C-alpha cells in the first residue's frame, strides 16, 4: 500500500486565497450583472428579439374594421405603501389619448366614483370591463402605470400576432401575457362575447382572493387561479397567452440593480428576455416599481413626448 503523499505545504495559503476569490464571485455578479444586462436588455430588439410575429400585417383589412376601446381606471386617492398610483392617470393621459386618437380607438377612463370601495381599487377593472363589454368588439385593459412607447403598432396587429388571423367570430376571448409569476392582469384584451361576460362575473365572484394592506390586491391571483383551473378544451377555445410578453406588456425593472432582477436573470433567463422593456416595444408597464411617476417622466422623455 503506497504511502499517502504529503500535501505540499505551499498549497494551503493559495487554496485559502482561492476560497476568498470564490466568495467574491457572487459579489461581482451582484454588482456587474445588472448594469451589463441592462445594456443588453435595452437593445434586445436590435439584438434579434421578435415581439411581433413577422407575418402580422401592419394595417387592418379595409372594410373589416373592428371597434376597439382602451379602458383604464385609477384610484388617485389611495395607494399601497410606497407604491402609489397618485397622479398616474393624469401623467399618462396624454400618451393614451394620443395613441387612441391616431388609430381611432375609444378610450374610457373610469372616474374614481366607479371604483368599488369594498375592495382594493385594482379589482374595479373587472366592473369597468363588464360595463363596457357590449359597446366594442374588443376592450384593451390598461393599468394606469403603463405607457404606449411605440404608437406605430396597432392593436389589430397585436391581436393578429397572437391569434394568427383577424376573424372576430372565431377568435379566442381573452388575450394575456405571462411574466415570471404567471399571467399578468395589468394589460390584456377581452372580446365581446357571452364567454367573456361570464368570465368577468366569475372573476369578480372570486371574493376569497381579495387582499388588503399590501402591494397585492388579489385580482391577479384570482385571474391566475381561474386560468389554471380551466379545462384544456376551454383554454384552447377561449384563452391565448402571447408567446412574447414584450408584445404588449414590457417591464423595465429588470435593468435595475436589484436582488429581484438578478434572481430573475439567473432563474428565469428566457422569461426575462421575453418580457424586458427594450427600445421599440409597444408598451411599458411599471409593474412592481415604486416610483411610478418618476418612471413615467423618464420614459416619456426617452420616447420624446411629455
Ligand atoms: C388631474 O388633472 C385634472 C385636470 O387637468 C386636475 O383637475 C386634477 O386635479 C389632476 N389630478 C391630480 C391627482 O393631479
Ligand atoms: C356571481 O355571484 C352572484 C352573487 O352571489 C351570483 O348571483 C352570480 O350568479 C354569480 N355569477 C357567476 C358567473 O358565478
Q: How many Å apart are CA 260 and CA 268, to the nearest integer? A: 11
Q: How many Å apart are CA 109 and CA 96, to the nearest integer? A: 10
Report whether residue 306 contacts ligand 2, using a CB cutoff of 6 Å: no
CATH topology of domain 58-302: Spore Coat Polysaccharide Biosynthesis Protein SpsA; Chain A (3.90.550)
265 Cα: distance to centroid of ligand 1 (angstroms): 39
Pure H helices in the chain: 11-42, 88-103, 124-132, 155-163, 194-205, 219-228, 232-238, 259-267, 269-275, 292-302
Report whether residue 202 contacts ligand 2, using a CB cutoff of 6 Å: yes
Closest ligand 1 atom, residue 76 Cα: 13
Report whether residue 90 contacts ligand 1, using a CB cutoff of 6 Å: yes
Task: Count other C-beta atoms under 10 Å from residue 191's C-beta.
Answer: 22
112 Cα: distance to centroid of ligand 1 (angstroms): 12
pLDDT attached to residue 53: 84
Which of 79, 85, 90, 94 is the pocket-test mutation for ligand 1 (most atoms within 8 Å of CB)?
90
Domain ranges of the chain: 58-302
Nearest CA owner, ligand 1 atom 13: 87
Report whether residue 116 contacts ligand 1, using a CB cutoff of 6 Å: no
pLDDT attached to residue 299: 94
pLDDT along the chain (306 residues), means of 10: 55 65 76 76 90 64 78 68 69 92 94 85 93 97 95 94 91 96 96 98 95 83 97 98 97 71 81 92 92 91 81
pTM of the entire predicted model = 0.85
Q: 122 in helix, strand or coil?
A: helix
Sheet of 106-110: strands edge to edge?
Answer: 106-110, 68-73, 138-142, 187-191, 174-176, 239-241
Nearest CA owner, ligand 2 atom 9: 201
Report whether residue 101 contacts ligand 2, using a CB cutoff of 6 Å: no
Residues pairing with 107 in the sheet: 70
Report whether residue 205 contacts ligand 2, using a CB cutoff of 6 Å: yes
Q: Identify whether the C-beta of residue 155 lies closer than 8 Å to the C-beta of residue 138.
A: yes
For 10-28, give the DSSP string: THHHHHHHHHHHHHHHHHH
pLDDT attached to residue 143: 92
Q: How many Å apart are CA 128 and CA 169, to the nearest integer? A: 23
Amino acid at each position: 500500500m503506497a504511502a499517502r503523499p504529503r500535501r505540499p505545504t505551499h498549497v494551503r495559503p493559495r487554496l485559502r486565497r482561492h476560497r476568498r476569490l470564490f466568495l467574491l464571485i457572487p459579489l461581482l455578479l451582484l454588482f456587474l450583472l445588472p448594469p451589463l444586462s441592462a445594456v443588453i436588455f435595452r437593445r434586445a430588439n436590435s439584438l434579434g428579439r421578435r415581439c411581433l410575429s413577422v407575418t402580422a400585417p401592419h394595417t387592418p383589412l379595409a372594410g373589416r374594421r373592428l371597434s376597439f376601446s382602451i379602458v383604464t381606471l385609477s384610484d388617485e386617492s389611495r395607494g399601497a405603501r410606497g407604491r402609489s398610483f397618485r397622479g398616474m392617470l393624469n401623467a399618462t393621459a396624454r400618451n393614451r389619448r394620443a395613441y387612441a386618437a391616431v388609430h381611432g380607438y375609444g378610450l374610457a377612463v373610469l372616474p374614481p366614483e366607479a371604483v368599488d370601495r369594498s375592495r382594493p381599487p385594482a379589482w374595479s377593472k373587472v366592473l369597468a370591463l363588464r360595463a363596457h363589454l357590449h359597446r366594442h368588439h374588443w376592450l384593451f385593459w390598461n393599468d394606469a402605470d403603463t405607457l404606449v412607447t411605440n404608437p406605430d403598432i396597432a392593436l389589430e396587429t397585436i391581436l393578429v400576432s397572437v391569434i394568427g388571423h383577424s376573424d372576430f367570430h372565431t377568435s379566442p376571448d381573452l388575450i394575456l401575457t405571462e411574466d415570471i409569476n404567471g399571467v399578468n392582469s395589468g394589460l390584456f384584451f377581452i372580446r365581446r362575447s357571452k364567454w367573456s361576460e361570464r368570465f368577468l362575473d366569475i372573476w369578480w365572484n372570486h371574493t376569497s382572493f381579495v387582499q388588503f394592506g399590501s402591494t397585492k390586491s388579489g385580482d391577479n391571483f384570482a385571474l391566475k387561479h381561474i386560468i389554471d383551473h380551466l379545462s384544456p378544451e376551454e383554454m384552447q377555445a377561449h384563452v391565448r397567452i402571447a408567446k412574447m410578453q414584450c408584445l404588449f406588456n414590457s417591464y423595465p425593472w429588470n435593468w435595475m440593480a436589484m436582488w429581484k432582477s438578478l434572481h430573475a436573470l439567473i432563474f428565469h433567463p428566457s422569461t426575462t428576455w421575453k418580457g424586458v422593456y427594450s427600445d421599440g416595444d409597444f408598451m411599458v408597464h411599471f409593474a412592481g416599481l415604486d416610483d411610478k411617476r418618476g418612471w413615467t417622466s423618464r420614459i416619456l422623455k426617452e420616447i420624446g413626448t411629455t
